[in-house]
Each structure stands twice: as structure tokens, then as C-alpha cells.
Structure 1
């Protein structure tokens, strides 16, 4: 690896920054592709493809890999074409994504591309037609522009902008990139303002800010290219220092915007999966036939990173089956005591329901293990939350699990025991 390139600019920092950003972006892209495989939809696929372009571009732009590609292909600066085509692919994907993004008020759920229609695809196809014409034009201009020597991984733009064909190639690339950045920033800014506070709003807001920051790269590059074409010296730093700084910061913000909501959703699924364990253990002890497999070890539970949605959903279904199994042993006195404790402490409806169910199931499990005869159907006490909507059911079960061994639950059980 060359520490200082032929331009005299140290390449080591660019190796670290570009390769780091590209690697992280590729990780995010892979996660998006995995999400698309679990839940196929055009929107997720476009998001994944949107990340792939710049991720590949940053990796290829790493000076050490840039030189390796040129060496393997036998043509100097060919890696530059791959870098710029990667960013142009990002521009095309972003333009499509901006057309697909549904304003919050027009959605029937949280899916930002829920409202995709035939008109959406017609708009997208018209814009992609522009890319379909300009991308081959860029390739021809690059390959016939005589920019194969000297090899310049960091100063290609200002070195070869004096060539009319390369200058046109660079301007087309920057205009497409700038248009895409402004388009997605405009769309994201409008949509973020209509979303409730949370990770999705923060993520979309970061994409909007990142797009505007990356516009600084376009501005710096266009000025530097124009100056080089006019043979004006002294502004090369805009292309070699300021432009890459804007690009790197913009890429970090945009990647964080795409990754943030996904990481938050993954973290929530993992937290719910682990939070349900005490409640699942209780019903598993009541009837081991409910579970598809034995309880995982604590270490297996801590190291659970894959298939969390499926695992959590399965755990919730098994808990629901366990509740039905324990229902004949639910003591109405425990339900009454838990209700009184909840009212006395001023719990809201959701926490009140969780406390009642937690106390009732704990007592039912103990009664079953003690050999207490089951109650007939007409004497069984109904429990709140059994009719919860699917979207609310998991949150209800998590609250029950967290209330299972809480002090108020112990107090409710003590009150019920004292009343016997």
C-alpha cells in the first residue's frame, strides 16, 4: 500500500475512511436484503439497491483497492468508472425511491411505500429512461477520453477535466448525483415532518440531512472541474479535500438514516424475545407439550441474533396456549385482589391488565403444581388482554412478563392469600 500517492496526497487516511464507510454500508445493505427475503416488497428491494451503489463505490475508491483493480484489468483509472457508476446507480435508485415514498397521511400502516400505484411506476420509468440513455453515454465518454494514464485515485477529476470528453463525463455524473440528492432530501424532509417522534422519523430526517450535506460534494467538484477545464490553478483542494469530506459525512448520515430504524426494530424484537422468557417458562412448566423445543440455555438466549421475529412470534403463541391451559386454575380471588391493588396504585388500563394477568397466572401455575383440582368452566375467571388486537398482543404479553415477579404482583398474591 502506498502511503503517499503520485499526487503527493497521503492515501492512508482515505484507505481507512473509504473502506470503513463502504464496509459498514455493505453490512446495512445485506441486512436490507435479508429483510426483503423475509418480507418481499418492491420498497425494501429498492432501499437495498440504493445502499449497494455507494457502498461499492466507497470500497472501490479506496486507493489500495483502486490500484489493485487497475492492475488486474491492465487499464489505469478504470476503477474511477466503477466508482462513478456505483454512485450513479445510487442516484437512479434514489429517484425511484423518492417516487415510491408515500406521505404519512396517505398510508394505511407504517409502510412508507404502501401507496405505490401504476402512476408511481410510470413516473419512475420516465426518470430511469434518462439514466438508461446517460449511463451508456458516460461509459463511452470515459473509455474514449484518454484518461488511462497517469493513475490518479484521488485527483482524477482535476487531472483529466482538461479533456472535453472526460469533463462532459464528470458533469453528467455530478448533475445526476446532485439531482438525486436534492430529490430524496426534499421528499424525506416532508415525510419526516408528518411522522410521530421515534426512530423512523429520526432515520428519515438523517437521510434528508445527509443528502443536503452530500450536495456540498457536488458543489465542490463542479467548481474544481470547471476551474481545471479553464486551467485555473489553486482550487484543487475543493476536489481532493473538501469534496471527499462532504461525501464521507453525507454517506455516514444517509447510511445511519437507513440503518437506524432497522437496528431499532431489531433491538426491540430482541428485547421482547428475552423479556417474554419468564412468562414462557411459567407456561412451559404447566404443560411442556406447548413448546416445539426445550427452553434454550441462558447463553443461547443472550446470543440470539437471527430469526428474532419468528422466535418472538412463536414464543407469544406458546404463551397464549399456556394461558388457556392454566385458565381452569385461575383463582377469582387473586383476580379481585390484583384489581384492587391496581386501582389503589392508580395504574393505567394497560398496566392494570398486565398486573391482573401476571398475578392470576402465577397463582394458577402454583395451584396446578400443587395438585389443586381445576375449576369448572362456569367458575373460571376471565382475564383481560385475551381479546387484544394482534398489533397490541405482543406489547401486552411483554408487560405481563415484566409484571410477573414485580412487587405489586407479590402484594396482590399476599392480599389474596390473607383473604382465604
Structure 2
């Protein structure tokens, strides 16, 4: 796999992976839009795509759009989202690029063409484009590096600084290309086919670092979401038994599990809700408990199964009864204990003994 294909695969993977964040807030929406536009820009530079499009300045226009979206994202981060100057500035840049392209008779972006004679319109085109992109990237670098100082140590700070370094590398690439084009337009011989691979490598490495840094917080959240979702699945047998026996303990119908797994809904709140629903069911089941000790997960699971059997058989609830094991005080203690009980309940083959109460609508996950 070539470096260009690997980079595109990473960019499109990151773009698709962050799709669920569109439902969260404006900052996440702006970040995803920036990532998507940047991915489209890199895709438009891929030789097969560029040849099929047949419009050399398309990646530049998409790059200007990406810079505008990045400006909007920075404005949301700094609390200045109401300003309209990014729209005016980006519009002026796009108009200037299209006009200079027409005046120059079509901009040829190939390194071989850049090594030839450059008209004033061509030089102006590159100065406008790279100057605009470079200014936005410098602002990005300064903002993320300054924010990183106040971020928690570890991955959050590392992610922000990685974004800043990546943006700085792309800004250096833009500045160096602008200087070389201006010098060549002034008569200094520059062999662009020779220097282009190094510049492309610098730009690609900067893009890779920026995307990797942006994925660091998402990676931490993904691990947290996946861990919590695993707890939800472990608790499912016990929760299902309580839900089937006491449908009224369900607080509200859960949404699709795949959406929650992606992080759109607060999966941690869902886990908290599941623990409450299990505990409410166990509280309603206490009058049917057998009068035996059940301080281990296996004993607790067996007691729950026996209580469910008694209730299903129509045994009268007892006025004096034992309670379940007291666990706490932290929610993590509840999750750990109930997870062990749920595993024991499933392994003990008790799931078939649930009371024949009609199942409520909604996913059991």
C-alpha cells in the first residue's frame, strides 16, 4: 500500500468513525466538517481522482473551504463564533483564486510546470492560496499549543500538542512553497520536481500527526464507551430477568444499542439506569427470597432464581424476609458485584426460570 493510499484510508476511517459526533454539539459538528473537508481535499489530490476531475485547482478550492471550516471550529473553541469575517475572508480568497485562474489561462499545479516561466497571475495565485492556508494553520498551531498547557497531563495534552505540531508542519510547507514560487517568479531557477517529494512528505506527515492528535480524545472516549457497553452486556441476563418479572421497573425504553455504542447517547447514564432497574427489581423480589445466606455471587444468583420461581408459582410473599447482599458505596462497586451475579445467573442456567410476565416492547440490550 502506497503512503498516499494509507493516508487516505486513515482520513476516511477517521471521518466515518466520528460521524456519530454530529448529534452531540456544534463544536463536534464543526470538527467533523473540518475533518471531512480535509479528507475530500486530500482525495482530490490523489492522481487517479485528479485526472478524473480534470480541474487542477479543485483541491485548492477544497483546501480553502477546509481552512474556513477550521476557522469556524477555532471560533467555537474560543467563544467568538458570532463573527462574520471568516465568511468574508474565505469568499474573497475563493473569488481571487477563480479570477487568477482565468487570468493565468488555467493554473497547472504540476511540479514540472512550476519549474517553467511563471506569470504574475500564477505567482499571485499561489501567494493568495498558501498565504491564506498558512495563516489559518499558524493560528491553529498557536491555539492548540496554548490550550495544551492547561489540559490534563497524559493523552489529552499529548493529543493537543500533536495537533499543534502537525498544523505547524503543514504551515511550514505552505510558507516554503510560497517563498520558492515567489523566488522562481523573480527569476531564481528552482527545480520543483526535485523539491516536491520532500514537501509532499512534510505535508503528509503533518496531516497524519494532526489527524492522529484529533483522534486521541476520541480514542479515550471509545475505550470508555466500549468498557461501559461491555458492562451493559454482562448485566443483561440479570436485567432481563428483572424486566420480565417487573416491567414497571424500566425507566424508559432504550434507544438503539449501536447508536449508544458509538457514543451519541451517554452510555454511562444508561449503565447507571440499568443498575437502578436491577436493584428496583430485586427490591420487589425480596418478599419471595428463601431464608438462606447468599453472600457469594453464586448464592445470590441462586436466591434470585428461587425467588422468581416462587413468585411465578404464586407463593404468597413473606412478611419477614432476608435482603440481598449490601454492596457499595460507589456505583463501580454495584456494577462489579451485579456483573458477577449476572454471570453466575447465566452460567447457572437460571435464565429459563423467569416469571412468564409479558415482555415489554424495546430492545433487551
Q: Give the TM-score category using the shorter length.
A: 0.7 to 0.9
Q: Secondary structure at the match of 2:153?
A: coil
Q: 1:202 to 1:331 in 2, by over 3 A?
A: farther
Shift of the 320–154 alpha-carbon distance from structure 1 to 2, 3 Å rule, reads farther
Which residue of 1 is the match for residue 147 of structure 2?
191
Matched-pair contact (CA < 8 Å) for 1:284–1:291: no
For this pair of structures, how many residues does the alignment match?
Answer: 326
How many angstroms does 1:145 deviate by?
Answer: 0.8
Distance 1:255 1:291, change over 3 A: farther
Q: Distance in 2 between matches of 1:376 and 1:214?
A: 74
Confirm or deny that 1:17 pairs with 2:3: yes
1:141 aligns with 2:100: yes
Alpha-carbon distance in structure 2 between the residues aligned to 1:243 and 1:186: 22
Q: Partner residue of 1:209? A: 165
Output one character per residue of 1:223-278: Cα deviation in whole Å (capped at 9) or x when no partner.
32123212322452575122111110111111112223223323322232123323
Write the distance in 2 (CA, Å) between the matches of 1:168 and 1:192: 36
Shift of 1:285: 3.3
Q: Hey, what's the Cα distance between the residues in 2 that align with 1:375 and 1:18? A: 72
Calculate the TM-score normalised by the size of structure 2.
0.74
List structure 1 segments (4+ residues) > 6 angstroms apart after TM superposition: 330-335
Are 1:59 and 1:65, in contact at CA under 8 Å, matched by a contact in 2? yes
2:130 corresponding residue in structure 1: 174
Alpha-carbon distance change, 366 to 87 in structure 1, aligned in 2, over 3 angstroms: same
Paired residues of 2:163 and 2:213 also in contact (CA < 8 A): yes
TM-score by length of 1: 0.66
Specify the alignment match of 2:307 in structure 1.
Answer: 368
Secondary structure of the structure 1 residue equivalent to 2:87: helix
> What residue ranges of structure 2 are gaps of 5+ in the alignment?
249-256, 345-365
State whether residues 19 and 32 of structure 2, in contact with CA within 8 Å, keep that contact through their aligned partners in structure 1. Answer: yes
Q: Which runs of 5+ in 1 are unaligned?
A: 1-12, 71-77, 103-115, 293-303, 339-357, 408-420
- Secondary structure, counterpart of 2:18 in structure 1: helix
SS at match of 1:171: helix
Q: Which whole-Å CA distance do the structure 1 matches of 2:307 and 2:12 have between them?
A: 52
**Who is 1:67 aligned against?**
51
- More RCO (CA 8 Å, sep 6+): 2
Counterpart-to-counterpart distance in 1, 2:200 and 2:341: 54
CA RMSD of aligned residues (A): 3.7
Q: 1:83 aligns with which of 35, 51, 59?
A: 59
Once the two structures are superposed, residues 377-413 of structure 1 have per-residue CA deviations (whole angstroms, 9 ceiling, x without a partner) of: 9965795558x7xxxx5x5554345554899xxxxxx
CA-to-aligned-CA distance 1:195-216 (integer Å, 9 cap, x gap): 2235443332221111112123
Distance 1:174-1:133 versus aligned 2 partners, 3 A rule:
same
Decide whether the 8 Å contact of 1:192 with 1:201 is kept in 2.
yes
Q: Distance in 2 between matches of 1:54 and 1:374?
A: 65
Q: 1:175 to 1:279 in 2, by over 3 A?
A: same
Aligned equivalent of 2:206: 250
Q: 8 Å contact 2:144–2:164 — kept in the other structure? A: yes
Match of 2:281 in 1: 325
Question: Within 5 A, what are the aligned runs for 1:214-233?
Answer: 214-233=170-189
